Amino acid sequence: MTTKQMISRPGVEKIMVWDIAVRLFHWFMVISFAGAMITQEMESLRLIHVAFGYTMAALVAFRVLWGFIGTRYARFTSFVPTFAQIKGYIASMFTSRPQHYLGHNPLGALSILAMLILTLLTGASGYAVYEGFGGEFLEEAHEMFANLMLAVVGVHVAGAVLSNLFHRDHSIRSMITGVKVVRSR
């Protein structure tokens, strides 16, 4: 499919936004984070928990690289927001026509950046705990970072659902197909 491909209805077009690398990264992160959360309290599954953590750290390393060399909407230059963009986007949410972004909106971009950073902090503290460094302090930090990540994931999912409802752009489906729908106004 080309970057833009018309659908059979006038005033509606499909645009390839999320490449296969971004979508695979997304779903492997979902699986790894869910697996890490499920196995966090099971001592018998500690090695599996650690493997999920290492997988997430490796995925973030890939995503950071892809943020510099990947496709248009995957690049950090296309979605890291300025303060003015964040402020403008929030203000637009209280109007009858909120700003619409084909890639990440400014708040979505902030949640992505927060999840990348929290993954690295959770992974680093988890590694230190696993290697026996830092004692209880690092255990608490590791748990705090993971819980913050869970909260940011919740906000991210809620934002995707709201974007899907308000903009009717198939935001959620686009993480499977890569395609978003744009309607002419």
DSSP H or E segment with residue 12: strand 12-16
- Contacts with 144 (C-beta within 8 Å, 6 or more apart), sequence order: none
Residue 184: inside a domain: no
What is the pLDDT at residue 163? 83
- The rounded distance, in Å, linking the Cα atoms of 3 and 183 is 15
Q: How many folded domains does the chain comprise? A: 1
**14 phi and psi angles, rounded to 5 deg:** -100, 135
**Coil vs helix vs strand at 131:** coil
Highest mean pLDDT among 167-171, 172-176, 180-184: 172-176
**Coil vs helix vs strand at 6:** strand
Average pLDDT over the chain, rounded to whole? 90
Residue 183: inside a domain: no
Per-residue confidence band for 28, with pLDDT thresholds at 50, 70 and 90: very high
* Cβ pair 46, 37 in contact under 8 A: no
CATH number of residue 113's parent domain: 1.20.950.20
Burial of 180 (0-12, 13-18, 19+ CB in 10 A): buried
Per-residue confidence band for 89, with pLDDT thresholds at 50, 70 and 90: very high
What is the pLDDT at residue 99? 87
For residue 90, give its domain range.
4-178
Residue 185: inside a domain: no
Each residue of 112-140: pLDDT tens digit?
Answer: 999 999 999 999 999 999 999 988 999 99
What pTM was computed for the model?
Answer: 0.88
Each residue of 58-87: pLDDT tens digit?
Answer: 999 999 999 999 999 999 998 889 999 999
What is the pLDDT at residue 7? 41
* Cβ pair 152, 110 in contact under 8 A: no
Output the furthest CA–CA distance in the chain (Å, rounded): 62
What is the pLDDT at residue 131? 94
Residue 129: inside a domain: yes
Each residue of 148-167: pLDDT tens digit?
Answer: 999 999 999 998 898 888 87
Residue 52: inside a domain: yes
- The rounded distance, in Å, linking the Cα atoms of 6 and 125 is 48
Residue 125: inside a domain: yes
The tokens for 157 are: 């999912």
The tokens for 89 are: 């986007």
Nearest to 80 by CA among 105, 49, 116: 105
